[in-house]
Amino acid sequence: MAYAPLTIVCDGGFSNLRRSLSNPKVDVPSCFVGLILENCELPHANHGHVIIADPSPILFYPISSTEIRCLVDVPGQKVPSVSNGEMAHYLKTMVAPQIPPQLYTAFITAVNKGNIRTMTNRSMPAAPQPTPGALLLGDAFNMRHPLTGGGMTVALSDIVLLRDLLRPLHNLHDASALCRYLESFYTLRKPVASTINTLAGALYKVFSASADKAREEMREACFDYLSLGGAFSEGPISLLSGLNPHPISLVLHFFAVAIYGVGRLLLPFPSPTRIWTGARLISGASGIIFPIIRAEGVRQMFFPATVPAYYRAPPVD
């Protein structure tokens, strides 16, 4: 039996230990269906691609000089059966017609090979219960929809922050004092983690198809907003990558997309129907982002300096 004064628990998205160290509320918005495409070219070499498909996005990105990973998002917690051929039929009839033509043949070939993998996409806000002698990290602690690939960015940012907090310590054996000190970790991580978490959840909802005309307008406005280039694409990309860990910038860009969508509706000639759709677009945008922000914690996200743990000093040996 081995003992340690501090145990870092990072046993992944299916953690068996998180319930002892946090109050997890796991949501499963969708599943990914994975394929490997061989010997084909992406429309833009060496770039990741998001296909805004119906009913939800499809991802393509290179993993070697000859292989491209495809991840098809399937909403809900259940996917068509792989074993009885339902999944192959779904991919050929529902998904294949929506992918870029240069990937079509390789996609059908990959489906026919039958090497299809599925995984659940999980979202879980961080809800720590500070416990002497233990600390959660990674997907065991906090998850977001993998559409944006932000999981490793958050995890590595948390590791760097924890390293800096532990660096001045020479003795970890006072578990209670160490636990009080490391409460600052949960507040200091919020700018990076909550920005990426909120962006992932919001983009997934925006990019998913909807029968609501206002939601479809928001979806098209988001794509066109990013297509403007310059600050309109650099800003969201810097948020996505963790280079701009400022939640207020995320909120400003998100509502800039909504206002851009309303402007497209009202120009050149507004009508009562278009005005009503624009109002529902703003309302829908608020309904997407504000619940995510509430789950992340408004105070910790936007006003971390008002949280007492923000100022915790290292325990004195």
Domain-ending residue, one of 102, 122, 142? 122
Domain encompassing residue 39:
27-122
Same structural domain, 153 and 268: yes
The DSSP H or E segment spanning 279 is helix 272-296
> Can you give the pLDDT at residue 4?
87
CA distance linking residue 189 with residue 147, whole number of Å: 21
pLDDT of 162 higher than 90? yes
Query: Residues 6 or more apart from 231 whose CB is under 8 A from it?
Result: none
SS3 311: helix
- Do 49 and 153 share a domain, yes or no? no
- CB distance 242 to 150 below 8 Å: yes
Residues 65 and 199 in one domain: no
32 and 156 in a single domain? The answer is: no
Exposure of 112 in the CB half-sphere (CA atoms within 13 A): 7
CATH code of the domain in which 55 resides:
3.30.70
317 has pLDDT over 70: no
Cα separation, 191 vs 248, whole angstroms: 10
pLDDT tens digits along 175-192? 899 999 999 999 999 999
Domain termination site, one of 122, 147, 177: 122
- pLDDT class for 22, splitting at 50, 70, 90? very high
Considering the domain architecture, whether residues 87 and 183 belong to the same structural domain is answered as: no
Residue 202: predicted pLDDT: 95
Are both 78 and 176 inside the same structural domain?
no
Per-residue pLDDT, 314: 84
CB-based burial, 67-97: b 16+ in 10 Å, e otherwise: ebebbbbbeeeebbebeeeebbebbeeebee
Residues 262 and 188 grouped into a single domain: yes
Listed residues 59, 89, 122: the one ending a domain? 122
Same domain as 115, residue 14: no
Shared domain for 115 and 211, answered yes or no, is no
Residue 1 has pLDDT above 90, yes or no: no
Q: Which amino acid is at 303?
A: F
311 and 280 within one domain: yes
Q: How many domains does the chain fold into? A: 2
Grade residue 148 by pLDDT with cuts at 50, 70 and 90.
Answer: very high
Please indicate, yes or no, whether residues 156 and 53 belong to a single structural domain of this protein: no
**Whether residues 60 and 75 fall in one domain:** yes
Angle of helix 231-240 relative to helix 247-266, nearest 10 degrees, comes to: 140
| Mean per-residue pLDDT of the chain | 93
pLDDT for the residue numbered 85: 93
Q: For the segment 87-139, what is each residue's pLDDT rounded down to a tens digit? A: 999 999 999 999 999 999 999 999 999 999 999 999 999 999 999 999 999 99
